[in-house]
Amino acid sequence: MREPYVEPWGEKGTFRGVNTMRQAPYTDVVRELNREGWRVATHAVGDAAIDEVIEAYEAANNDRSIVGKRWSLEHGFHPTVGPVFLA
């Protein structure tokens, strides 16, 4: 989430969810999968997670088009209006 969860789940304003892979290594993996011709599907919950997935997909697309490859964002809920709706 871009903003921390509300209490009692917010851990005093510090909890934004669980990020299982940092942005830079995730983007590197996505770009390599694209170079190798793999189809990518990513699980992301929350607007910040969705932003990170879209950023990685855009980086991969800049290397080699992903248009028509049916890449997906799985369970992408809690988005805000923005890039996800423009993709």
pLDDT in tens, 16-60: 677 889 999 999 999 999 999 999 999 987 778 888 999 999 999
pTM of the model: 0.76
Q: Return the pLDDT at 42.
A: 94
Q: Return the pLDDT at 48.
A: 80
Task: Give me the phi and psi of 75, to 5 degrees please.
Answer: 55, 35
Q: What are the tokens at 78?
A: 């809690």
Position 5 confidence tier, pLDDT thresholds 50, 70, 90: low
Peptide bond into 25 cis (omega under 30): no
